[in-house]
Structure 1
C-alpha cells in the first residue's frame, strides 16, 4: 500500500548480516541447523547441537523449524502464550516465507532456552521484536530448499519456485516436496543475506487472513495446557499463607497441629526476603491433594509481625492526596513556559480532579507453579505460566543461591496475564517449597491469594487546570499527579520509587504540544506491591487526559474531535524528550482520529437525551488508536454501551486478522469492565476484597456491545496489539456519558457516579 499523505515512515531496520543472523552450526544425520539471532541481541545466539533426529531426511533449522519425512512442519513458538494469540501469529510469519501449507503445520511451545533469544511476553513487544527476523529465517530456509531442488534437477534456481510445501519447476512441470529435499538442503551453505529474497507483501497468502488459534480445539475440549493442569508422578500439593499486611513476617504458627491433619505431609515457615516483589515470608503446607492442603490451611493460626504497612488505608491515602495537591509537586516532569501567567491571562479556566483505585489483575487462572528439586545434582525443574521466564529463572537463582544453569523452566500456557505474570513471586515460592520437599510440588494460589497478594495497578489522583483563550484554543495545562511508591535502596540510600503505572512521562499528550505546560508529581509511600497492568500507565492516563480535554472542548464551545485535531497540530513528528521519550507521529494519529470519526458518523447523528457519542485517542505501546463510543443511559442511571468503533494503525501488516479482531474486541470489553466495576479498598494495610462476589467483572450476558474494528495499513514497522486498543475506551465512554446526560465521570469505577438524569 502506498504511504498515506503527511505520514513519514520510521527509519528502516537494517537486515542483519549473514554471519550475524544465520550460519551452519551443526549437522546431525541429514538435518540442517541454523542459528537464530533474536532482535536486540548484540551477538549471535549460541546454539547447542540438537537432539538426535528421528530421520536423516528431516530438515531442522534448530531454533524454530523441523520438516519431517512425512511432510509435517513443526514450528516452535518461543514466546509465552497468555491469550494474545502469539502462539499462532508468529509461526504464521515463518510459514508465509517458508511457503508451507498451514494444514501441514504443527506448533509446539518452546521452553526457556538461551538459543531462542528474548522470550518475554509483555508490552505488546512479541510481534515487533520478532517479525522481521522471522521473515528472514523462513525465507532463508525456503531459499535453501529451492537451491536443493535446482541442483537435483540441474536447472537454475531462478527457474524454480516454492509453493504449498514443495519446490516446482514450471518448465518441466516437476515437483519435489520439502520432505524429499531436506537431506540435500542440509548439505548446502547458508546463503548470504543479499541472496535471500523476502516475499512481496502483495503476494502474501497466509498473513492477513483469519486463522483460528492453534490451541482452540484443546481449550474447548478441556485438554491440559495451562500451568494449573500440570501433573507429575508422585506429585504433592502446596498452599502458602502470607501475611494479610504486605511485608509482614511470621512470628509463630501452629505447625504441629497442621502436620497432624489428614493428608498433610509437612508444614514449615519460609523466612522470605525484604523485597515486596521477591519471596514473601509465609507458611507452606504440603499435602497429598490440593483439597487436603486447602482444608488444613483453614486451621492454620499464625501470629504476624505486620510491619510498617499495617496502618495504610485508602481513605487516608485520599485525604493525604487532597492535602498534597495544595502544595508544589516534589518532582517536575515537564515545565514549559509560564503556566501560572498563562492561566491568569486565560479567557476561561477549567479545573477538575480525577482519581482511580488500586485494582487486581484478576486473571481467570490463579497463580500456580510446579517445581521439582533433584538432590542428586542440586538442580531444579519448573513448570510455570509465566510472561517473563528469564526473570523467573533469575529470581529463583538469586533467592535460592543457585546457578541459573541448574534451573530448567518449562513455559505453560497462561490463563490470562495482563502483566501479572511478568512478576515471578509465585515461581520463587514454589521453588523454595520444592527445595524442602523430596517430591515434585504444585503450588496453587486460592482466588483470595490471587486478589489480596497481587502486584496491583497503582491508584492515583490527578489535579488538573487548563486555560483557554478567547478563540477557544488551549493555552495552558497543569497536572499535579499524586500517586504511590515504595522505598528501595540505591547507592546505600533509601529512596522512594514510583510503582509500576505510577510514573508519568513528561512526553504524555498534550504535554509537549503546548507552550505553557507544567506536569509535576508527588509520591506517597504505600507498602503495597505494584506491577504492570495491561497498558501500564496508559490505561488510566488516557482516561484522565481525554476526559479533561473533553471538558475543555465543551468549555470552549468547540467540537471535541476538532479540538483534539487543533491540539495535535500539523507538525509531522513531535520529538521525544528525556530518557524515556520517543517520537510521536502526529500524522498517524490525525489519520486514525479522522478515520474513526468517518466510520462512526461523528457529529452527523442527532441523539435524544440519554444517548450520546464520545471520542478519544491514545498512543500506547507503539500503536495509534482512536475510538468512538455510543451509549444509552436510562433516567435511572443504567449504562449501556451500544457501539464502539475502533481504528488502529499498528503498521504495514496485520499478521492474523482473526487474532487482531479478537484483541480489539477483548480490549473494548476489558475496558468496559474495568471502567464499570473493579476497585480494591485497603483497610489496616489489608486488601478487603477477596473474590468475585466482592470484585465484580463484566459478565457474558452484559457484553453485547457492537464492536467495529478497522485496521489502517501504513508504511511503518509492524507492532503489537495486546495493549494499544485498551486505553481510549474509558474516556470515549465517559465523554459519551457526558454527551448523553451532562454528567462528568471523574472517579473510577463508575459505581461512584450517579448517572441518573431527568
Structure 2
C-alpha cells in the first residue's frame, strides 16, 4: 500500500465557538505526505484547510475546499469527514471554500489527485471531531468516555441509553483542546455508513433549478461586460486597430488595446470592448479592423506538421532518446518477423459547456478581486499578482462552480485578460465572457502526435524488441510539465526485453495543455492498437499477449512525487482488471452477426482499467458502438458509487467521441474549427450501454476522473479491425477506410 497523506502529531487542530453557540474545528491538513511532517506551532491563523462547524440545531457544515467542475469533489470530500464524524448526512451542509493557500493548502481540480491526497486527512478531521463530541458528553455527564458511542449525530451512553445531539454538545466541545490527530481512532471500514453510499451531488438540486452558481452567473452592482478580440494566428502581435469606429457602435462604453506579455498562458495582444450588454460588446467586434504582425507563424498548418513529422520518421534518425534498455538493434537484426507501422492522433480542444469567463474588480488600493471558474485557483492568483506587479495577498479569488473543465481551466489566461481589462477601469466590476468561437480557437489543445512503431518477433512468436520514434512538439518554457512529452515508463516499457523510445520535436506556437487523461488519452490508442497488431501476428488476442508479458513480474517500486509516495505499477492489479473485463464481456464467445469485440487496457492516474467494446458498421458504414464493459481497480473503496459511475461513463463517452469525430486542424497559423458545427461533440445517439464493475483490492483509494478514458479508444479501433480487417492508424476514424 502506498504512503498516504495524513495528519501528523505536529498538525494544528483548533476548536472555537460559533456565534450563538456551537463548534468550529479547523485543521491543518497536508496535501502531500512530505507536508505531514512540517514544523508545528505558529499563530492560530497558520495554514488551515479543512473546516467543520456544528450549530446548536445539529446542522453540520463542512467546507468543500477543492474546485467543483462536475466531478463531484464537493460531495465526495465532505463524505469522508462526515462518515468518520458519525454524522447524519441529511444534516450536513456543504459550502465552497474561497481560494486561500494560507488557510486551505493546495486547491486543485486536476490529475485525479483529490482522492489520494485527501483520503486519510479528511477522515482524521472527522474522527477528531467525533472524539471531541465524546469528550464533551463524558464531561457533561461525569462518566468515562469509554462507555459512550456515537450514532447519526448523537452521543449515546451505552448503559443507560441517554443521548445528546452534537448540536447540544457543540458549545461544550468548543472549550476543549482538540486531540492529537495522529492518535485518533479511525473507523473499521465495515462501519462506514456514508463512504460507499451512492449520494447525489450537493449542488445538483441548485443546478436543476437554474440557480446562479456558475462563474458566468456572477452579478455585481455596476458591473460591465467585456469581449476580447485576439488574433486567430497563435503568437501574432497587434500593430493597429480602429478603436474610434468600435466606440461609436451602439451600447459600447469603451474600447482599448491590451498589450500582451508574450506568455500565451497569461496575456496575448488584443482589443477589449466594454458594454452594459455582452451581446452588444461581442457584436461590436465585427467592426474591428486590426492589423496583425503574424511573424513566422502565419503559414503553420496541420498539413505542414504532418509532412515534417512523416519525413522525420522516414529518416529513422530521432533527435534525442527518451529511454532505452537491452540491445534493440540486435533484436531486430535477429527477428523472424518485423512489424513497422505509423500512427497519428490530432490536436483536440476541451470545449466545456460553460465558455471561459471571469469577473474582476480592481480596487482603489491596488488590490484585485475575482469571481472565477478556475481549476487551478492558487496558480491564477500567483501569476496575476506577478503580471500586475502586486503582492499575492492583494489578489482575492472567489471560486465559482464550473460548467466543465476537462483540464482547460487549469490554464488561467482568462483571469489575466480580465485583470488587464479591470485595471483600465478601477472601481468597476468587469465580467469577461468568451464566445464559443473564442473558446474553440483560443484553447490550450491536446497535442497532436506521430509514432513510428516497430516490433521484433522471434521464431517462437515472442515479442523481443520494441521501437518507437515519437514526433511531437517543443514547448518553450514548459517547465516540469510538458503536455507534448512522453514519459519513459509508458507501457510496454520494462515489459519487452529490448526497447527504445526516442523523439523528434517540431517548433510551434500552438498553445498546448492538459486534456482529461493527458498523454494517456493518446498513448493508450497508439500502444494498445499496435500491441493488438503484434498479438494478431503471433496468433493471439490482445489480452492473452498482455497477460503473457506480465507473467511472473513483480510490483514496481514506489516513487516519491507530487503527492508524496506514488505506488509503483502492479502487474497483479493489471491482471485483475483484464480477467474481469474478459469475463464481463464473455470474451472469446460468439457475438451477434456483424458485430465484433475489441479490447484495451491502460494504467493512468494510479487507476487500472480494462475495457471491451462491441461495435458494428451500419449499412452506410457508420461506426456503431453497442456495449462497453469496463473493469476498474482504483483501490479498496469506491467512496461515492454514484459519482464513480458518472466519471467512468463520462470518460468512456468522451473517449468514443474523440475517436469517432474530433480533431482541430491548424490552417494559416490558427485553428480551423470554430464552433459545434465543425467540432461535433458526442451526443446521445452514439452513446452505448456501459457496464461498469470495480475490482476491489487492498490498496489506498485513488481518483476516478481520468483512468477510464484511455482504454476505450483502442478497444474501439481494435474491434473495428476484427470486424473489417482494416486497421485504424489515424484518428479520428475515417469511415472511408471501411468502404
Q: 1:732 to 1:62 in 2, by over 3 A?
A: closer
Aligned to 2:704: 721
Note the C-alpha offset of 1:417: 0.5
> Which of the numbers 277, 295, 320 marks the counterpart of 1:289?
277
Normalised by the size of structure 2, how large is the TM-score?
0.95
Note the C-alpha offset of 1:62: 8.2
Note the C-alpha offset of 1:65: 1.1
Aligned to 2:56: 69
2:586 is aligned with 1:601? yes
Pairing 1:672-683 to 2, within 5 Å after superposition: 672-683=656-667
Q: Quick check: 2:25–2:52 contact (8 Å CA) kept in 1?
A: no
Aligned to 1:219: 207
> Which of the numbers 625, 630, 638 marks the counterpart of 2:614?
630
> Which of the numbers 8, 30, 40 marks the counterpart of 1:17?
8
Note the C-alpha offset of 1:33: 4.0
**Secondary structure at the residue paired with 1:574?**
coil
Aligned to 2:91: 104
Aligned to 2:506: 524
> C-alpha distance in 1, partners of 2:6/2:429?
45
**Secondary structure at the residue paired with 1:487?**
coil
> Which of the numbers 321, 328, 331 marks the counterpart of 2:320?
331
Q: Quick check: 1:747–1:753 contact (8 Å CA) kept in 2?
A: no
**Secondary structure at the residue paired with 2:264?**
coil
2:577 is aligned with 1:592? yes
> C-alpha distance in 2, partners of 1:36/1:15?
10
2:434 is aligned with 1:449? no
Q: Quick check: 1:486–1:498 contact (8 Å CA) kept in 2?
A: no
> Which of the numbers 352, 377, 388 marks the counterpart of 1:400?
388
**Secondary structure at the residue paired with 1:151?**
helix
**Secondary structure at the residue paired with 2:129?**
helix
2:31 is aligned with 1:39? yes
Pairing 1:416-565 to 2, within 5 Å after superposition: 416-438=404-426, 439-488=428-477, 500-565=482-547
> Which of the numbers 641, 645, 655 marks the counterpart of 2:629?
645
Q: Quick check: 1:128–1:720 contact (8 Å CA) kept in 2?
A: yes
Q: 1:324 to 1:468 in 2, by over 3 A?
A: same
2:362 is aligned with 1:379? no
> C-alpha distance in 2, partners of 1:321/1:259?
46
2:170 is aligned with 1:174? no
Cα deviation, 1:498-542, whole Å, max 9, x if unaligned, reads 984321111110011111101001110011110111111000000
Note the C-alpha offset of 1:187: 1.4
> C-alpha distance in 2, partners of 1:683/1:626?
37
> Which of the numbers 238, 242, 248 marks the counterpart of 2:226?
238
> C-alpha distance in 2, partners of 1:415/1:62?
24
Q: 1:109 to 1:516 in 2, by over 3 A?
A: same
Pairing 1:150-229 to 2, within 5 Å after superposition: 150-193=138-181, 195-229=183-217
2:110 is aligned with 1:126? no
**Secondary structure at the residue paired with 1:553?**
helix
2:336 is aligned with 1:354? no
Q: Quick check: 1:485–1:498 contact (8 Å CA) kept in 2?
A: no
> Which of the numbers 725, 733, 736 marks the counterpart of 1:750?
733
Q: Quick check: 1:485–1:524 contact (8 Å CA) kept in 2?
A: yes
2:332 is aligned with 1:343? yes
Q: 1:46 to 1:739 in 2, by over 3 A?
A: farther
Note the C-alpha offset of 1:578: 11
Note the C-alpha offset of 1:15: 4.2
Aligned to 1:149: 137
Q: Quick check: 1:745–1:753 contact (8 Å CA) kept in 2?
A: no
> Which of the numbers 654, 661, 678 marks the counterpart of 2:645?
661
**Secondary structure at the residue paired with 1:512?**
coil
Aligned to 2:353: 364
Pairing 1:722-737 to 2, within 5 Å after superposition: 722-737=705-720
Q: Quick check: 2:24–2:51 contact (8 Å CA) kept in 1?
A: no
Note the C-alpha offset of 1:404: 0.7
Note the C-alpha offset of 1:154: 1.2
Aligned to 1:690: 674
> C-alpha distance in 2, partners of 1:23/1:85?
28
Cα deviation, 1:538-560, whole Å, max 9, x if unaligned, reads 00000000000000100111122
**Secondary structure at the residue paired with 1:614?**
strand
**Secondary structure at the residue paired with 2:82?**
helix
Q: Quick check: 2:359–2:431 contact (8 Å CA) kept in 1?
A: yes
Q: 1:442 to 1:44 in 2, by over 3 A?
A: farther
Q: 1:316 to 1:279 in 2, by over 3 A?
A: same
> C-alpha distance in 1, partners of 2:341/2:561?
30
The gaps in structure 2 that reach 5 residues or longer are: none
Cα deviation, 1:159-214, whole Å, max 9, x if unaligned, reads 11111111111211101011110111111112234641111101111111110111
Normalised by the size of structure 1, how large is the TM-score?
0.93
Q: Quick check: 1:500–1:536 contact (8 Å CA) kept in 2?
A: no
> C-alpha distance in 2, partners of 1:170/1:226?
47
Q: Quick check: 1:629–1:733 contact (8 Å CA) kept in 2?
A: yes
Cα deviation, 1:579-602, whole Å, max 9, x if unaligned, reads 999721111111111111111111
Note the C-alpha offset of 1:11: 4.0
**Secondary structure at the residue paired with 2:349?**
coil
Q: Quick check: 2:15–2:23 contact (8 Å CA) kept in 1?
A: no
The CA RMSD measured in Å over matched residues stands at 2.1
Note the C-alpha offset of 1:753: 5.0
Worse overlay, 288-297 or 21-30 = 21-30
> C-alpha distance in 2, partners of 1:574/1:36?
32
Q: Quick check: 2:596–2:719 contact (8 Å CA) kept in 1?
A: yes
Q: Quick check: 1:486–1:528 contact (8 Å CA) kept in 2?
A: no
Q: 1:231 to 1:72 in 2, by over 3 A?
A: same
Q: 1:197 to 1:530 in 2, by over 3 A?
A: same
Q: Quick check: 2:5–2:117 contact (8 Å CA) kept in 1?
A: no
Q: Quick check: 1:570–1:587 contact (8 Å CA) kept in 2?
A: no
> C-alpha distance in 2, partners of 1:568/1:728?
18
